Amino acid sequence: MTIQSLEWNTLKAHLEPYAKTQKGRELIQALEVFKRPEMASQSMHEIAAAKNWIERHPHPDFGSFFDVASQLKDLKIERVISISDHLKVLHFLKGIDRLIVRFKSVPAEINIDSIRPYSLPLDSLKKVRELLALSYEPERVLDSASSELKSTRQLLSKTEKQLNDKLKTIVEKNKADLSEGFFTQRHGRYVLPVKITVKNRFKGSVVDYSASGETVYMEPTDVGDLSAEKRRLEALEAAEIERILQATSALLHDHYEGLNINFQQVTLLDGIFAKAHYALEIDAHPIEFGSHLNLLEARHPFIPIKDVVANTITLSAPHRVMIISGSNTGGKTVVLKTVGMCALMAKAGLLIPASIGSSIPFFEQIYADIGDEQSIEQSLSTFSSHLTQIIEMVNLATAKDLIILDELGSGTDPQAGAALARALMDHFRNLKAHLFVTTHYPDLKAYAYDHEDVLNASVAFDTKTLKPTYQLFLDTPGESHAFLIAERLGLKPNVIMTAQSYLQQASSPVSQLIQTLEEKKVEIEKDRLVLDQQLNKVNKEKADLLQMKTTLQEERRTYKDKLKRQAQLEIESLKEELDATLESLKASSQIKMHEIQAAKALLNSSLESPSSSSSETIGVGDRVEIKKFNRPGQVKAIKKGTYTVIMGNLELKLQKEELIFLRKDVLNIDKDSQVHTPPRKAISAECDLRGLRVEEAQDMLLKYIDDCSVAGVPFVRIIHGFGTLALRKMVKEIVQSSSLVASSRDGQGNEGGNGVTVIYFE
């Protein structure tokens, strides 16, 4: 796998700083690709879970963990470790405890199932942690480490106090014999700075001399016993400290396996979270492994997001080969490196800098030949160096590999190079490998038109700045822009004109075809820009209309609420007035008590507010409003959810949602009158004229109006639609001239609007 030309080590260098532990950084440095797609997919799921955790909830800080690799190495072979080593192990276990708490605090809605197993073996060794916390502080073993140490230190403190008091007394008594009025220590013994002239008469033993020889440091005879006792206690203290260090080191040795598992799990989690932090930095996402290469808005991870140009790079059936052409300014190579890097990152189980929904085959090997590989040491030219690598690919590549070749066939005679490049592409095509090639050769640009599995592509070039735009266009070969670049760089015009004439003389049908395609591409791009502008305009108008609709709906709701409040206030006011009137009638004894109560009940029923009546259950006899006609009616019968409603002389079958409850009432149908009333012809409440010729519709409308008048129908709807407006005009003329019609109006919004005319009869 030729991964160095794709800068794999550079990627690891970018990733490494996100690891916070030394072992985590070493894990990143040793990062390799997986051999099976399921392992790479599992790695992506783990990184995605960590990324999700980082984005939504406080996450672990691996920077707080002490590196205890050397301490674990000593404990494994039962060495006694120092106080500072014990404290490192203690802080490490405290970090493990915080990590366990972090895992437990993640809310259920944040899915970390793929990394939770890493936390299951973690053990903060609570008893060990508590013992270490009671035993050690920086550079000191605590008194609480053992009762023996505590009692020894208490005796030592008492002895030191007695010794200090004794020395102070001696200093005070012998000031005249001392060079200075204090005591000090030399070689672990308390001494006084005695003048050399009184050495022989001062009671004590010589311990040391000053540099000048004028002062002799002597231990007074009177403190000899106390000094000896102090040294004895200090030796006991040191021995007890050593015993404690040995005991706790042995305890940690007994828990070596648990400590080592903790250390390994922290290292693995640090590596996962480092990859997740890097994924956030480059806006990377998981990718699916499949048979097609489909990188959506892919970017090279080394280019800052604010500067990079994203490209959708697709190579799906029947295509397996992409030939990229265009100016020689670096844009094509960026595309090649983006494809290669995304393929490598996917094989390594990293999230890739492409949009969600991207897919790529799990390539067994990735071969890449990119850049100038001229070798002075091996006496190889650029062409030979490239060819050496390509020969290796020819010998080793299979159908399951990705092959990336930059400027295939360059560095030698153009005709021979182009012929060799075509032969190599034939070989790799026959293998069914995925192949990406960049070129300037017209013959290779035309190669795609002769083979259905080959796709042309080009990288756009800004002719004003002489820089690539890094935008990839599929299905279109690109121009080299050699003359334009030469002109902008200052080459004399006469030289350029001569070159252009030579080119025209040597122009091949292939070159002419490519030029024609380029011209078509420019036209298509112009049309696309116009369509984009029109689409943006339509989208803006649509957004404005939606905003207007929302505003009108809000105003309508506000207005309805206002009307309801006003109606409620008026109803309440009217009730108060009626209550007052009834009370005055009651006082005047002009009306009986039960009549007053009945009147109140009737008033409460009649003046019920709209908000309360709308929720009433509709029963037989109730007065209702029929929504689509805006007319009142009375419920005659209810059967299986269908309401039979009497509206004037019409009997309608309606659903509950088509009715508005008005008030309770009792159905009162005179049976005698029903017997003697002659049967009337059933008349529909609406007449639909749509689809008829004007003459047919006119005859039908005149007969319908006569039938409605005889049947005593109060009003009906005439449906004429919009169309050419001929039917509407005819309906208006007949309605206005008919003596049977009292009035008419256009339909409301819920009645059909201007496509309906509502007419009322005498």
pLDDT for residue 452 is more than 70: yes
Q: Which of 80-84, 197-201, 572-576 has the highest mean pLDDT?
A: 80-84
Beta bridge partners of 640: none
Band (pLDDT 50/70/90 cuts) for residue 678 is: very low
CA pair distance 451, 447, nearest whole angstrom:
7
Q: Say what the pLDDT of residue 671 is.
A: 45
Phi and psi at 365, nearest 5°, equal -135, 150
pLDDT for residue 72 is more than 80: yes
Query: Contact at 8 Å (CB) between 54 and 273?
Result: yes
CA pair distance 119, 34, nearest whole angstrom:
23
> In this structure, what token pair is assigned to residue 692?
């008829």
Which of the pair, 54 or 450, is modelled with greater confidence?
54
Q: Say what the pLDDT of residue 426 is.
A: 94
pLDDT for residue 686 is more than 80: yes
- The model carries a pTM of 0.63
CA pair distance 415, 410, nearest whole angstrom:
10
CA pair distance 667, 664, nearest whole angstrom:
10
Lowest model confidence (mean pLDDT) among 176-190, 386-400, 484-498, 562-576: 562-576
> In this structure, what token pair is assigned to residue 158?
């008492």
pLDDT digits (tens, 9 = 90+) for 513-533: 666 666 676 788 788 888 988
What SS3 state is found at 576? helix
Phi and psi at 178, nearest 5°, equal -105, 140
> In this structure, what token pair is assigned to residue 724?
């050419």
Q: How far are the Cα atoms of 16, 585, 591, 602 from residue 588, in angstroms, in the given order?
A: 100, 5, 8, 21
Query: Contact at 8 Å (CB) between 718 and 686?
Result: yes
> Cis ω on the peptide bond leading into residue 318 (within 30° of 0)?
yes
pLDDT digits (tens, 9 = 90+) for 596-649: 555 555 555 555 544 444 456 888 989 888 876 667 788 999 998 899 988 776
Lowest model confidence (mean pLDDT) among 194-208, 260-274, 331-345, 586-600: 586-600
Per-residue pLDDT averaged across 64-71, rounded? 90
**What is the chain's alpha carbon radius of gyration, rounded to the nearest angstrom?**
49
Q: How many residues does the chain have?
A: 762
Q: Which of 90-99, 178-187, 653-662 has the highest mean pLDDT?
A: 90-99
Per-residue pLDDT averaged across 730-738, rounded? 89
pLDDT digits (tens, 9 = 90+) for 347-396: 999 999 999 999 999 999 999 998 754 343 443 456 777 888 899 999 99
Instruction: Give alpha helix (H) positions in 296-356.
Output: 331-347
Mean pLDDT of all residues in the chain? 85
> In this structure, what token pair is assigned to residue 759?
């007419």
Per-residue pLDDT averaged across 334-345, rounded? 94
Query: Pairing relation of β-strands 321-325 and 454-462?
Result: parallel
CA pair distance 738, 386, nearest whole angstrom:
97
What SS3 state is found at 437? strand
CA-closest candidate to residue 179, choices 204, 213, 203, 205: 213
Burial zone of 96 (CB within 10 Å; 0-12 exposed, 13-18 middle, 19+ buried): buried
CA pair distance 436, 368, nearest whole angstrom:
9
Beta bridge partners of 298: 311
The DSSP letter of residue 291 is S
Band (pLDDT 50/70/90 cuts) for residue 681 is: low
Q: Say what the pLDDT of residue 594 is.
A: 53
Q: Say what the pLDDT of residue 275 is.
A: 97
pLDDT digits (tens, 9 = 90+) for 266-295: 999 999 999 999 999 999 999 999 999 999
pLDDT for residue 14 is more than 80: yes
Query: Contact at 8 Å (CB) between 322 and 425?
Result: no
Query: Contact at 8 Å (CB) between 296 and 472?
Result: no
Query: Pairing relation of β-strands 288-289 and 359-360?
Result: parallel
> In this structure, what token pair is assigned to residue 227?
């000094």
Beta bridge partners of 208: 217
pLDDT above 70 covers a percentage of the chain that reads 87
Q: Say what the pLDDT of residue 520 is.
A: 73
> In this structure, what token pair is assigned to residue 605?
């029923």
Q: Say what the pLDDT of residue 613 is.
A: 43
The DSSP letter of residue 79 is P
Question: How many CB atoms are located within 10 Å of the residue 354 CB?
Answer: 28
pLDDT for residue 695 is more than 90: no
pLDDT digits (tens, 9 = 90+) for 416-432: 888 999 999 999 999 99
> In this structure, what token pair is assigned to residue 39?
């392992």
Band (pLDDT 50/70/90 cuts) for residue 560 is: confident
> In this structure, what token pair is assigned to residue 198?
């009184």
Q: Say what the pLDDT of residue 517 is.
A: 65
Query: Contact at 8 Å (CB) between 339 and 352?
Result: no
Which of the pair, 242 or 759, is modelled with greater confidence?
242
pLDDT digits (tens, 9 = 90+) for 145-191: 999 999 999 999 999 999 999 999 988 888 888 888 888 888 888 89
Residue that is written with structure tokens 């220590």 in the block: 185
pLDDT above 90 covers a percentage of the chain that reads 43
Q: What angle do CA 69, 140, 266 make, to 5 degrees?
A: 25
Query: Contact at 8 Å (CB) between 421 and 441?
Result: yes
Question: How many CB atoms are located within 10 Å of the residue 92 CB?
Answer: 23
pLDDT digits (tens, 9 = 90+) for 703-729: 888 888 777 778 888 998 877 678 888
Per-residue pLDDT averaged across 191-211, rounded? 89
Amino acid identity, position 88: K
Residue that is written with structure tokens 């008419």 in the block: 744
Q: Say what the pLDDT of residue 600 is.
A: 57
Q: Say how many CA atoms lie within 13 Å of 545 toward its Cβ.
A: 6
> In this structure, what token pair is assigned to residue 299?
């970017």
CA pair distance 144, 21, nearest whole angstrom:
32
Per-residue pLDDT averaged across 11-32, rounded? 95
Beta bridge partners of 644: 637, 653
The DSSP letter of residue 250 is H
Amino acid identity, position 554: E
Of the chain, the end-to-end C-alpha distance in Å amounts to: 96
Beta bridge partners of 632: 625
CA pair distance 167, 165, nearest whole angstrom:
5
CA pair distance 717, 746, nearest whole angstrom:
9
Band (pLDDT 50/70/90 cuts) for residue 300 is: very high
Query: Contact at 8 Å (CB) between 321 and 449?
Result: no
Query: Contact at 8 Å (CB) between 230 and 163?
Result: yes
pLDDT digits (tens, 9 = 90+) for 216-236: 999 998 888 898 899 899 999
The torsion defined by the Cα of 353, 356, 358 and 359, in degrees rounded to 10, comes to 100
CA-closest candidate to residue 315, choices 333, 296, 300: 296
CA pair distance 419, 441, nearest whole angstrom:
10
> Cis ω on the peptide bond leading into residue 37 (within 30° of 0)?
no
CA-closest candidate to residue 759, choices 709, 721, 710: 709
Phi and psi at 400, nearest 5°, equal -95, 15
CA pair distance 83, 87, nearest whole angstrom:
6
Query: Contact at 8 Å (CB) between 417 and 411?
Result: yes
Band (pLDDT 50/70/90 cuts) for residue 589 is: low
